[in-house]
């Protein structure tokens, strides 16, 4: 799952604490699976089934509301198998409510056909194929969900090792010497706006726009820019490339902070070694910190946001 997915959804639950909201959202797919399976079984009492139906409706409506707000692409894994990465509320409506309609049909058939009400007997002809269809669909969704989680765990392990390696390299004497130096001594081309409210300058170095993790980091900085843009100045440093390429890149990821072409800065001894780094610079131009990018991992992003906040106090 996208590491930002739970963050965005939780932020929409303003009346919930972060810990409780995270618990609700992370258990949502499993709740859909269990509640749907219980309803499909049709062996519950009328009042228990009604209660479960209401709970299931609440989960589905919360998914739809988040989709309407654009806060999630796949709210719950029931929509991931067929329509993966489509933030379309009608997709969620179709899949979730179709599943509920089929479940309700099975439930009604159990209640009415068992009482020998002939007008509902047509439902009994569909109960077996509907049960098989829903069971197979839920199993496939569950396998998809588990497969994605397994892939994510492997990805996080590999990325964590790569990031630790970069951090060790940045702690070597030649890299540490960069801390405290004047960025204008490296490149005189870069200029920062003078504003009394700006406490820190965040620079993202990008040697190419074709790097997937670099693009994700650019989008993440836009998120930080939206939250802290009044106190921090965000900027991306790129090589000499087409203006059209920069425009298309910023437009694709919705980036509003400026892109500055500065091949001299990117070609410096330390910054030239990595496709992308994040620099924290004082308003006077003093380099305070150099960090690797987060590689789209939520824990790394949370850690970096705390670092940024420490400079904004």
Q: Do 21 and 115 fall within a single domain?
A: yes
Report pLDDT for 192: 83
CA distance 118 to 125: 12
- The answer on 302 and 196 residing in a single domain is yes
Q: Is residue 19 part of a domain?
A: yes
Residue 50 has what pLDDT? 64
Token pair listed for 226: 């939206």
Domain count, the chain: 2
pLDDT digits (tens, 9 = 90+) for 175-196: 888 899 999 888 877 888 888 8
* Average confidence (pLDDT) over 92-103: 56
Residue 150 to residue 157: CA distance in whole angstroms: 11
| pLDDT more than 90, % of the chain | 28
Write out the DSSP string of 200-234: EEEEEEES-S--HHHHHHHHHHHHHHHHHTTTEEE
Shared-domain flag, residues 56 and 107? yes
Decide: helix, strand or coil at residue 90.
helix
Inside any domain, residue 164: no
pLDDT tops 80 at residue 284: yes
Strand pairing category for 200-206 and 276-281: antiparallel
- Residue 117 is part of which domain span? 3-159
- Report if residue 143 sits inside a domain: yes
- The answer as to whether 72 is a domain residue is yes
Helices 18-41 and 89-108, packing angle to 10 deg: 40
Most confident range, picked from 41-50, 106-115, 161-170, 192-201: 161-170
Q: Residue 33 domain-assigned? A: yes
As separate numbers, helices (DSSP H) first and strands (DSSP E) second, the chain gives 10, 5
Helix (H) or strand (E) holding 280: strand 276-281
Task: Select from 82, 83, 24 the least CA-distant residue to 58.
Answer: 24
If asked whether residues 58 and 182 sit together in one domain, one would say: no
Same domain, 182 and 306: yes
* Whether residue 231 is found in the same domain as residue 270: yes
Helices 3-12 and 298-312 meet at what angle, rounded to 10? 60
Instruction: Indicate the pLDDT class of residue 51, thresholds 50, 70 and 90.
Output: low
CATH of the domain at 196: 3.40.30.10
- Say if residue 240 is in the same domain as residue 288: yes
pLDDT at site 286: 93
Q: Is the separation of the CB atoms in 35 and 59 below 8 Å?
A: yes
Q: What is the pLDDT of residue 154?
A: 83
Beta carbons of 214 and 276 less than 8 angstroms apart: yes
Query: 1-40 as b/e, with b when 16 or more CB fall inside 10 Å?
Result: bebbbbbbbbebbeeeeeeebbebbeebbeebbebbebbb
DSSP 188: S
Q: Do 307 and 289 form a contact (C-beta atoms < 8 A)?
A: yes
150 and 274 assigned to the same domain: no
Do 142 and 241 lie in a common domain? no
Domain match, 145 and 236 both: no
Res. 63: pLDDT tops 60? no
Are the beta carbons of 288 and 306 closer than 8 angstroms? no
**Is the entire prediction scored with pTM above 0.85?**
no
| Furthest CA-CA distance within the chain | 89
Asked if residue 121 and residue 65 are part of one domain, the reply reads: yes
Residues 181, 147 share a domain: no
User: Would residue 253 be called left, alpha or beta, if left means φ above 0 and alpha means ψ between -120 and 50 degrees?
Assistant: alpha
Domain endpoint, select from 159, 192, 218: 159
**Among 159, 190, 222, residue at a domain's last position:** 159
Domain-ending residue, one of 126, 159, 192: 159
**Does some domain include residue 166?**
no
């Amino acid at each position: 799952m996208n590491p930002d997915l739970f963050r965005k959804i939780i932020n929409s639950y303003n009346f919930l604490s972060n810990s409780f909201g995270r618990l609700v959202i992370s258990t949502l797919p499993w709740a859909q699976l269990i509640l749907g399976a219980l309803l499909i079984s049709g062996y519950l009492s009328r009042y228990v089934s009604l209660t479960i139906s209401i709970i299931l409706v609440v989960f589905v409506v919360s998914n739809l509301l988040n989709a309407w707000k654009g806060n999630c692409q796949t709210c719950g894994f029931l929509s991931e198998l067929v329509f993966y990465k489509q933030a379309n509320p009608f997709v969620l409506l179709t899949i979730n409510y179709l599943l509920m309609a089929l479940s309700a049909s099975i439930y009604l058939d159990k209640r009415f056909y068992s009482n020998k009400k002939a007008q509902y007997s047509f439902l009994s002809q569909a109960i077996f194929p509907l049960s098989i269809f829903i069971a197979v669909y839920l199993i496939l969704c569950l396998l998809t969900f588990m497969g994605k989680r397994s892939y994510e765990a492997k990805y996080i392990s590999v990325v964590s090792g790569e990031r630790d390696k970069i951090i060790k390299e940045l702690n070597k004497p030649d890299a540490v010497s960069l801390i405290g130096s004047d960025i204008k001594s490296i490149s005189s081309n870069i200029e920062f706006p003078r504003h009394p409210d700006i406490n820190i300058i965040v620079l993202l170095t990008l040697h190419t726009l074709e790097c997937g993790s670099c693009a994700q980091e650019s989008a993440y900085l836009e998120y930080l820019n939206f939250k802290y843009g009044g106190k921090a100045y965000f900027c991306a440093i790129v090589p000499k490339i087409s203006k059209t390429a920069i425009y298309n890149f910023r437009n694709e990821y919705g980036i509003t902070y400026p892109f500055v072409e500065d091949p001299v800065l990117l070609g410096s001894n330390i910054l030239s070694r990595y496709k992308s780094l994040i620099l924290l610079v004082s308003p006077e131009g003093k380099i305070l910190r150099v960090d690797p990018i987060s590689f789209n991992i939520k824990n790394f992003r949370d850690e970096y946001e705390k670092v940024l906040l420490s400079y904004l106090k």
